[in-house]
Chain A
Amino acid sequence: MPDLSSRGSPALEEPFAGEPDFARLRNDLVKAVAKICPGWLADRRDDLVQAALMKVWDISRRREGILELSSSYLYRVAHSALVDEIRARRRRHEVNLDDSENERATPTTAPDPNATAAAAEIGRGIRECLGGLVRDRRLAVALYLQGHGVPDSSRLLDWPAKRTENLVYRGLADLRRCLAGKGLEP
């Protein structure tokens, strides 16, 4: 007699018995999109992530056989697939830019349109000002504005911590002066 067992219910959250928690990678991608991407993309995170996961499989399968994949490789591929999918959606102009004007902020940004517009203007000013900084200061400040502390930046840029710290300090001072010259105050 066949072993016919019908299992499962909508309430169950675990994957098939003996198999891994697949939802983890997906959840990590969903969280990353929700946290990092602008509102119009974050609102479509399920579709975005699903498309990226399908690419992960296809890329992985063609490249080296999925059973040999390491977790670090899989996350790297997932990142590439996600970024490519985001770029593709931007290129397709899936959103009306006028309608999305107030949705460009990350989800953590205050919903106040005036505050968002002011922040966007400061963001433009920051990029213009960074372009005028001495290169090493620009690198140090860019990483700092990306959320990296001095120890991280020091390792990423392969500079001594003290030098990195000085470059961030001086670079931020340059940035403030430049922004003030543009009439912008963070």
Chain B
Amino acid sequence: MSESEFGSAHEIERLRRAFALPLDDSLPDGAEPELDAERIYRAAAGELPVEERHEIVDRIARDPHAAEAWRLAVELQGALAERARETGPGAAVLPFAAPAAKVLPRRGLARVWGALAAVLAVALGIGVWNRMHPEASTMRGGETLLAAQVADGARLARSDFRLAWAPLADPGVRYTVRVTTADLRRVAEARGLEAPSYRVPASALAGFPAGTRLLWLVEARTGDGRTVASPTSTVELAD
């Protein structure tokens, strides 16, 4: 027997498409508790014990939202495998439900993802952490945070797009400012600043329409090598 004997391609496609339709956008009263998303992901990757995998597959047979989460997991595992193939061969960690994947190399990924983590940390993390822990707006793990002196959400003219922050009392301090789009595409960067402000050149803002939301933060390196950062702030480009 081959899979072609299961039915016509057209019929199978219709069945699959119908199965993928959510029955409703809200859960009905008395619905089963939601499955933990991580369990779904790990089941789709074949990482859970077989009985647990069976239990989760049984759930997706009757729960369209669990089925959707499973498909998202498979999609992301396929994307992860695809990225790994681009990076090159190496050690294997195989999410075996992702049909395109055979090998997930480690070489290069650790460096890439370590750096990615750093970008996330700088561009998102501090701001997110700060918003989620407002009591620590000036202290984080005993560490002082730089305070922006431009109001979050402020509208700045492109002709005078000046970012400023409270200076550190350290004669050897140098500042690095980074400005990105909301999805972390680079807009401008200035390193080694001595003054606690930076004006983004109008040329770097050319092409962004008025109303564009930009993220910025500043990091300070003190004379004794410590690094201190500001929360990520949002500013809006005005004309």
Q: Is A143 an interface residue (CB 8 A)?
A: yes
Chain A interface secondary structure, helix, strand, loop or mixed? helix
Query: Which residues 45-64 of B have a CB within 8 angstroms of A?
Result: 46, 50, 53-54, 57-58, 60-62, 64
Interface flag for B169 (CB, 8 Å):
no
Q: Which residues of B contact A46 (CB under 8 A)?
A: 183
A131 touches B62 (CB 8 A): yes
- Name, among B93, B113, B193, the residue most crowded by chain A CB atoms within 10 Å (CB to CB): B113
Q: Say yes or no: A165-B1 contact (C-beta < 8 A), given A67-B117, A79-B41.
A: yes
Closest Cβ of chain B to A29, distance in Å, is 7
Q: In the bound complex, what is the Cα–Cα distance between A127 and B123 (angstroms)?
A: 44
Complex interface bits, A136-159 against B, C-beta within 8 A gives 1, otherwise 0: 001101111111111010011110
Q: Would A71 and B79 count as touching, CB distance under 8 A?
A: no
Contact at A57–B121, with CB atoms within 8 Å?
Answer: yes
Q: How far is the CB of A72 from chain B (nearest CB, A)?
A: 6
Number of interface residues, chain A, beta carbon within 8 A: 107
Binding site for B on A (CB under 8 A): 2-16, 18-26, 28-29, 31-33, 35-38, 40, 46, 50, 53-54, 56-58, 60-61, 66-67, 69-72, 74-76, 78-80, 82-84, 86-87, 90-91, 93, 95, 97, 100, 104-106, 108-109, 116, 119-120, 122-124, 126-127, 130-131, 135, 138-139, 141-150, 152, 155-158, 165-166, 168-169, 172, 175-176, 186
Q: 17 A-B Cβ contacts within 8 A?
A: A5-B191, A9-B203, A9-B207, A15-B184, A20-B112, A57-B121, A66-B117, A66-B120, A75-B76, A95-B25, A105-B21, A108-B17, A123-B21, A123-B64, A139-B61, A144-B6, A145-B16
